Homo-oligomer: A and B are copies of this chain.
Amino acid sequence: MSERKEFRDLADPERAREVVASLDLSAGTERVALEDARGRVLAERVDAALDVPGFDRAAMDGYAVRAPDTYGTDSDPTVLPVVGSVHAGETPDLALDDGEAAEISTGAVMPEGADAVVIVERTEELGGAADAGGAGGDEPDGDSDGSGRRVRIETAVTPGENVMLAGADIAAGERALGPGTELTPREIGLLSALGVDDLVVRATPRVAIVSTGDELVRPGGALDHRAGQIHDVNSYAVATAVEEAGGEPVVYPHVGDDMGAMEETLVEAAEECDLVLTSGSTSASAVDVVYRVVDERGELLLHGVAIKPGKPMLVGRIGGDSGGDEGAAYVGLPGYPVSALTIFRTFVAPAIRSSAGLPEPRTARIDGEMAVTERTEEGRRRLLAVGLVEDEAGETLVYPVDKGSGATTTLTAADGVVDVPADRNRLSAGERVTVDLFSPAVRPPTLLGVGEDDPALSRALDRLERPRYLARGSRGGLRELREGLPDVAVVAGPFDAGEEGVADAADLGGWSREWGLVVPAGNPDGVTGLADLVDRDLSFVNRGTESGLRTNLSNALADLADDRGVDRRAITESVSGFDRAARAFESPARSVAAGDADAGLGLRATAATLGLGFVPVGSQTVRVLANPDRQEKASVRDLDGLLEDVSPVLDGLDGFEPR
């Protein structure tokens, strides 16, 4: 074990942040077309190169006049001859003399001689002189263009009224937008007004993503489970996070743990990009190889940071030579996806945003109350992944969701992290905590459910908006319900309805499902029931102890023992594979389908879906129980309404019946 890299003298997180910030990720500037400029950041100040508007323009529809001609009209309307019309986009073919008006449209050029506009609502056009008899006030004797048009002016205007003077919006030479301005629709609008159709923006930093580790296979590729292969989670997740931070991700072909290949890829990436991220393998050998490449072909500035998750973080530079190639900044992310994204978000994203000129997003935090007590390891600061749920009053409850061990489901079951200082070793239920949300867009799920996994339930969840469901089995659901955490618990099979914390729960509804033994298609072993599992040499796959299905199976086996007058334990011990516990409702059936077992505990619906045989044993009820303190929560009421007529949800699911 001596060649394995131990992480000693971990850097303080603040120090790590400084080291990452000191890396030069700047990508310079580039010119982009206005229509491609959304979200980009101005590299230079933009001054107006022209006056906006470029001419004195009418700000309203109405009549252009000389203001003094309207004085006194509030009490005594005046009638002016209309010498013509000016519309937006036309060169005026007229000029106003004293005592004349011209019809004018919003946006039109003010004709020479006019200095104000009377809005159309305060005028009445009178047509030819023939119908002028009804108009009061001073009437001119005739009209200037022979058309006989005249207008009654019913209000006085001051010079400049309803006119936008040339340059009044912004004048040539004025500072329009400063360097560092992020371009939203509003800035794009102002730039359009200024006639700017391309502009110089901060270049997007290119970020290389190199995944390492012999065991990783990109999504879409086939896995060899026996060889311990898993899909490469970090490459696309980190690439997406890079994009979100304003960088341009460049995903390189996967490299294994081979030093030569890794060196080649990393040096190439350093030439082509501003920042190189490695990520992927959790294996110490891959980390060692990356470490050696960075050490030999660059410079390692930091090795390990005193934060959990994320201890094995590397920071440095790769590439660069005396010939002017500066190489690239380098950060090695931990292998576990939750750790990799946490470290990326905490240390790397700010550096990418800074390089792109983008501001730090508005702090996305939410205060809440710990729903349960969580013990943490003292001596190291911890970013504890947590999920959120709102109680009926809208108060936020916080619960830890980290399954540890690199679970990828933690990625989507968590909403943010609680920063637990190194000197704390527990967060107590009821304690106030602040959650740093993963992004400002994160919102707590509308509904939090815990319990049995079930195909009808999956369909019901599809009909709700943003629910979260933690499939922890019926026993898990009941346990969490007693703790008061979820909005609903889903329980299959028998349970103690009188138990404290459960007795008050409202039964929102449910269904029954037929269970039994899933066997290969055509039932080649001629299995007829549970007795065959006990009496014959059949390999079986059970569900875990949390599952309601297992409870029913155990009860049925107990009945069999009673019938036979033998010890229950003797019966279960006779079932080969009784302790072979699979996690999800389809898992035993899939083992059968894969030829790994002769029979599996499961549902008729699953056997039908997978094209397998089925030997029925019984039916069990699935109940959706509402937390007594959440019955008025909107999502609980939605679910209640949905379960009132569950038939559409069950449609086509073999062996499922409304209760």
Interface residues of A (CB under 8 A from B): 1, 4, 34-35, 37-38, 45, 47-48, 50-55, 57, 59, 61, 86-91, 103, 105-109, 120, 125, 162, 164-198, 213-216, 218-221, 223-241, 243-244, 251, 256-257, 281-286, 335, 337, 341, 359, 361-362, 403-409, 411-412, 414, 438-441, 443, 453, 458, 461-462, 464-467, 469, 471, 582-587, 589-590, 606
Contact = CB atoms under 8 A, between A and B. Distances in A.
Given A38-B243, A61-B284, A172 B586 contact: yes
Contacts of A184: 240, 244, 438-439, 441
B583 A171 contact: yes
Nearest to A63: B1
Contact of A88 (B105, B213, B582): B213
Given A88-B282, A89-B213, A107-B282, A225 B409 contact: no
Contact of A175 (B35, B47, B167, B453): B453
17 contacts: A35-B239, A53-B230, A54-B230, A55-B228, A87-B214, A88-B228, A89-B229, A107-B213, A107-B228, A108-B215, A171-B582, A171-B584, A171-B587, A174-B586, A192-B232, A192-B408, A197-B218
Task: Identify the interface centre among A168, A190, A284: most chain B CB within 10 Å of its CB.
Answer: A190
Q: Is the interface of A mostly helix, strand, loop or mixed?
A: loop
B411 A187 contact: yes
Task: Identify the interface centre among A213, A219, A407: most chain B CB within 10 Å of its CB.
Answer: A219
A213 B108 CA distance: 11
Contacts of A213: 88-89, 107
A486 to B, nearest CB: 16
A191 B236 CA distance: 9
Contact of A341 (B34, B166, B185, B244): B185
Nearest to A362: B440
Contacts of A587: 51, 167, 171-173
A59 B236 CA distance: 22
Contacts of A192: 219, 231-237, 408
B197 A405 contact: no
Given A256-B89, A412-B187, A195 B220 contact: yes
Contacts of A236: 34-35, 188-189, 191-192
B237 A583 contact: no
B586 A55 contact: no
A461 B177 CA distance: 10
A540 B86 CA distance: 29
A105 B412 contact: no
A401 to B, nearest CB: 12
A195 B283 contact: no
A125 to B, nearest CB: 5
A475 to B, nearest CB: 16
Task: Identify the interface centre among A194, A225, A464: most chain B CB within 10 Å of its CB.
Answer: A225
B107 A231 contact: no
A170 B407 CA distance: 8
A107 B215 contact: yes
